[in-house]
Amino acid sequence: MGDSHSHDHGHEEEEVSLKPICISAVILVLIIAGQHFWSWWPQGWLQNVLYILAFCPVGIPVLVEAWELLRREHSFFNECALMSIAAIGAFFINQQTEAVLLMLLYQLGEYLQDKAVHKVRHDISKIADVRSQTVLKILDQGTLEIPANEAKVGDHLRVIPGMRVSLDGKLLSEEALLDLSALTGESMLEEREKGSEILAGSVVSARPIDIVVTKPYEDSTLARILQMTEEASERKPETERLIRRFARVYTPIVFGLALLVVLAPWIWSLASSSFQYEFSDWLYKALVFLVISCPCALVISVPLTYFSGMGATSRHGLLFKGALYLEELRRITAVVFDKTGTLTVGEFEVKKVLTSGISSEEALGYIAAVEAHSSHPMAQAILRHTTESSHKQVKDIEEVTGMGLTAISQDGEKLLVGSERMMHKEGLEVPESLSPRGKSAVLLAIGGVVKATVILSDQIKKQSKATINELQKFGIKKLVMLSGDKPEVVQATAKEIGISDARGALLPDDKMRAVEELMEKDRVAFVGDGLNDAPVMTMSHIGIAMGGIASDATIEAADVVIQGNDPYKVVQGIEISRNTHKIVIQNIIFALGFKLAVMILALMGFASLTLAVLADVGVTLLAVLNSLRALYFRAKPFN
């Protein structure tokens, strides 16, 4: 509409009330009934007084706002001014019924639109803000219920089953069973062990847990999500900005055309004596033209559609830091993935045991016994793969920094457990049959002879292959994996998932150069989780962070945060983005097409002011209802 006029009309502070609409409607119905059925009904100036009484409850707020917009913002070309001129003009040509009906239907439309917008806001806030307002602080004499925002870092809190965690913390209890659906969008319960990070928004199941607060209330993961959600509406998508620019140009043009509808026939009547000019007829047509040409259907429905689309992404465990990123995602032609923690779990598992002159059980028994004294992820994977009863007796365990461990077996033989580099450093030859061939591995040497190799690999997430398949179905052919891991490991992982372009042994600078190269021809989305992914995430067209495991810097750098660690959410985000854009286009075509048709009918004399306002309000409401479809859209789930 006007240069800075918002269709919200400050609804956050003062909503359109139904009471004045009802008062106006009752008076108008009495007037119409009196004119047709009661002979004693007053005529002349008394009837005009009744029309003014019917007009005031719905008309005065619009007239006042038109004046305020003109006074404060110097905005004349806005919807309120348009409606005010149309209503005053209708009174001027003795179309009082239509003047009241114009404002009545306009305010009714505003009321219904308010309800729709507030429903979307309520649904989104309900999805996002799931924190409990109070917490149980553990004291020496028991627990004390305090406001959640008064809890401090270092406080010990108790969370009972069914209660939501309000602040980020670390688990003090031995174990916890949590419902993370508010953060990840997944309803599956997850187990946590002592010392694990517990995020605000988690729901405790089974038994009470104790946590120690690690972040203030306002800095918790959930608080940041809420803050980003609130700030998101400030980042307008290109389509929405285009519609608002269009409205700023379109509205004064419409005023000019309406003026021409009145003046052009009058000028023609001066030139042609055969043409009879009736001012009231042409003014009426101009008023109809003004009302139906109002662009409010577009100015309301387009931002509402994007807001609804962001509500849908929240339901799916995705946070967009602005509607412009929701629109941008549908344009992506290339998706670049980090490997570890993004497409893989980031946790090793034993894939194969190669042996020479020793059984795999015996080899694993020696390796596990030695690795029990290491915190390395590979060591932990081997310990998970074996039972404590299978461990051999070893002693004199020593660490060789960056390579492995040495020990003495029960038989007095020297044991070496570590990397292939460690074996070479000790002057031992690794037989071809035991060579790890560039794969992640732990080797065992007994008495100066290499006896076994345990091949390990990072576990591929169960959703990774489906993610790649669905992206290819979307027409995104350029799918790339960039990793700092060994090239052989990266290639093997990529082959299993279905990615043809995979590059390993990359430093952060290498990743940035690779993405820069892709961005020359494609619109690139980068999906990652680590601190080293933050720079490349910032430079990409769209940066997507795995919020469940990403560093704070990565989450801050990202445009989209996946509230969990499921890569399939990328697929769902693109699907929601495309659906939202489709609804926006539907609303634009429908609103402009319908209004153009009624404009033509108005100029031909076939459309009344009542039909114009019904069409304007009707088109707006239908566009709003269509926009709400974006809120309840369900993307294809992972099977």
Amino acid at 558: A
- 219 labelled catalytic: no
How far apart CA 166 and CA 218 sit, in angstroms, is 10
3-state secondary structure of 450: strand
Q: Please, what sign has the CA dihedral across residues 508, 512, 517, 519?
A: positive
**For 208, phi and psi rounded to 5 degrees?**
-60, 150
Asked if 337 and 465 touch (Cβ cutoff 8 Å), the reply is no
User: Smallest Cα–Cα separation from 454: which of 379, 354, 361?
Assistant: 354
How far apart CA 347 and CA 460 sit, in angstroms, is 9
387: Cβ–Cβ under 8 A, 6 or more apart, which residues?
none
Q: Please, what sign has the CA dihedral across residues 143, 146, 152, 157?
A: positive
Asked if 55 and 99 touch (Cβ cutoff 8 Å), the reply is yes
How far apart CA 594 and CA 11 sit, in angstroms, is 28
Amino acid at 633: F
Asked if 483 and 501 touch (Cβ cutoff 8 Å), the reply is no
Return the ∠ at Cα 459 (arms to 177 and 182), rounded to 5°: 35
Strands (E), 470-605: 478-482, 501-503, 524-528, 542-546, 560-562
**For 5, phi and psi rounded to 5 degrees?**
-75, 130
179, 338, 529, 533: which one is catalytic? 338
Amino acid at 497: I
User: Smallest Cα–Cα separation from 295: which of 609, 2, 625, 603?
Assistant: 2
User: Smallest Cα–Cα separation from 51: which of 12, 87, 105?
Assistant: 87
Give the Å distances, CA to CA, from 544 to 116, 336, 502, 564: 30, 10, 19, 12
68: Cβ–Cβ under 8 A, 6 or more apart, which residues?
none
3-state secondary structure of 137: strand
> What is the DSSP pairing of strand 334-338 with strand 318-320?
unpaired
52: Cβ–Cβ under 8 A, 6 or more apart, which residues?
none
220: left (phi over 0), alpha (psi -120 to 50) or beta: beta
Residues facing residue 427 across a β-bridge: none
Q: How far is CA 568 from the centre of its chain?
A: 14
346: Cβ–Cβ under 8 A, 6 or more apart, which residues?
340, 458, 549
Alpha carbons within 13 angstroms on the beta-carbon side of residue 549 total 17
Positions marked catalytic: 338
